[in-house]
């Protein structure tokens, strides 16, 4: 009797060391969703208002950059990050700023340049779109586009559309503005632009929404 061919395990890509490392990295990235949520809901007693938000994000960004400088130039700090984060630090981050630092810088620029609801929308696209695009792309990405995949782009767009619906309902961002921002975020996430995605997605989607909102 011939044995039946074993079926491929659909969850096998999710068990690969590469995907698990990316999942740990994106779990940290997803924690930053608290930033746009705070911009939408203003739950915390501080910061409130534009001036306090400026001080808050400036302090966070400066602190993150200081930590990065120590990591780059102090061997003990570099060893600590290597042991603590393991394979989550990407090659270009080993000699430059971490993605989390770029995300804080993007947050600071967003509240300086855009109205608060648009800043919240752009940051949400950055946090959710980048995370789900990477996770879906690494899990099931087959159709390559530059160095990304169409499946990853679909994951990014889906996450951005969910966030777009949220900011339309809660932050009262006009529907066409939110949808345009979601599309801009997805395009930037796909393209091989020589700019960190956290900055690129936030600024591109934010400017598109700002222009459409008038």
- Encode the chain (214 residues) as per-residue pLDDT tens digits: 445 555 666 667 676 767 777 888 889 999 999 999 999 999 988 988 899 999 999 999 999 999 999 998 888 888 887 777 766 777 777 778 888 999 999 999 999 999 999 999 999 999 999 999 989 988 887 888 777 888 999 999 999 999 999 999 999 999 999 999 999 999 999 988 888 999 999 999 999 999 999 7
pLDDT of residue 2: 47
Closest-CA residue to 159 (of 127, 184, 188): 127
Within 8 A by CB and 6+ apart from 132, the residues are 155, 156, 158, 159
Terminal C-alpha separation, the chain: 72
- Give dist(CA 28, CA 26) in Å, integer: 5
Please give the pLDDT value at position 4: 54
CB of 138 closer than 8 Å to CB of 13: yes
Residues 6+ apart with CB under 8 A from 183: 157, 160
Phi, psi of 43 (to 5 degrees): -80, -40
Domain positions in the chain are 15-213
Q: What is the pLDDT of residue 8?
A: 60
């Amino acid at each position: 009797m011939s044995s039946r061919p074993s079926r491929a395990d659909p969850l096998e890509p999710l068990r690969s060391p590469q995907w698990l490392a990316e999942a740990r990295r994106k779990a940290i990235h997803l924690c930053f969703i608290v930033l746009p949520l705070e911009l939408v809901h203003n739950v915390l007693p501080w910061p409130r208002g534009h001036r306090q938000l400026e001080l808050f994000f400036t302090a966070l960004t400066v602190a993150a950059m200081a930590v990065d400088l120590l990591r780059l130039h102090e061997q003990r700090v570099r060893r600590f990050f290597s042991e603590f984060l393991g394979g989550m630090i990407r090659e270009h981050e080993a000699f430059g700023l971490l993605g989390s630092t770029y995300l804080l810088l993007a947050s600071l620029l967003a509240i300086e340049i855009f109205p608060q609801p648009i800043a919240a929308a752009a940051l949400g696209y950055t946090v959710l779109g980048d995370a789900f695009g990477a996770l879906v792309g690494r899990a099931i990405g087959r159709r390559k586009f530059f160095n990304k995949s169409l499946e990853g782009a679909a994951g990014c767009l889906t996450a951005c559309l969910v966030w777009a619906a949220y900011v339309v309902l809660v932050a009262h961002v006009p529907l066409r503005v939110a949808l345009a921002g979601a599309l801009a975020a997805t395009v930037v996430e796909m393209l091989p632009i020589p700019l960190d995605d956290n900055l690129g997605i936030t600024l591109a989607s934010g400017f598109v929404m700002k222009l459409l909102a008038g």
